[in-house]
């Protein structure tokens, strides 16, 4: 669910909030190790813009998914 909230923030143009909520989604996915969490984070990574904070978070997601 947090991944969806982060994606909604991106849609609204609120990148900082998206990254903040996305980090919580990543932490939850690391703890729970669910397939759905991985799918949502992958989709979020694809949506993140090229800003430095978003790019760093994208790299974190990609490392988690590997």
Q: How far apart are CA 42 and CA 54, in angstroms?
A: 13
Q: How far apart are CA 53 and CA 18, in angstroms?
A: 10
Q: Is 20 buried (19+), middle (13-18) or exposed (0-12) by CB count in 10 A? A: middle
Q: How far apart are CA 35 and CA 12, in angstroms?
A: 26
Q: How far apart are CA 21 and CA 7, in angstroms?
A: 9
What confidence tens digit (pLDDT) does each residue in 1-45 have? 888 899 999 999 999 999 999 999 999 988 888 888 889 999 999
Q: Taking the complete model, does pTM exceed 0.75, yes or no?
A: yes
């Amino acid at each position: 669910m947090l991944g969806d909230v982060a994606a909604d923030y991106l849609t609204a143009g609120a990148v900082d909030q998206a990254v903040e909520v996305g980090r919580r989604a990543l932490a939850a996915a690391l703890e729970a190790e669910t397939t759905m969490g991985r799918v949502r984070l992958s989709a979020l990574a694809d949506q993140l813009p090229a800003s430095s904070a978003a790019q760093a978070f994208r790299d974190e997601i990609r490392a988690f998914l590997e």
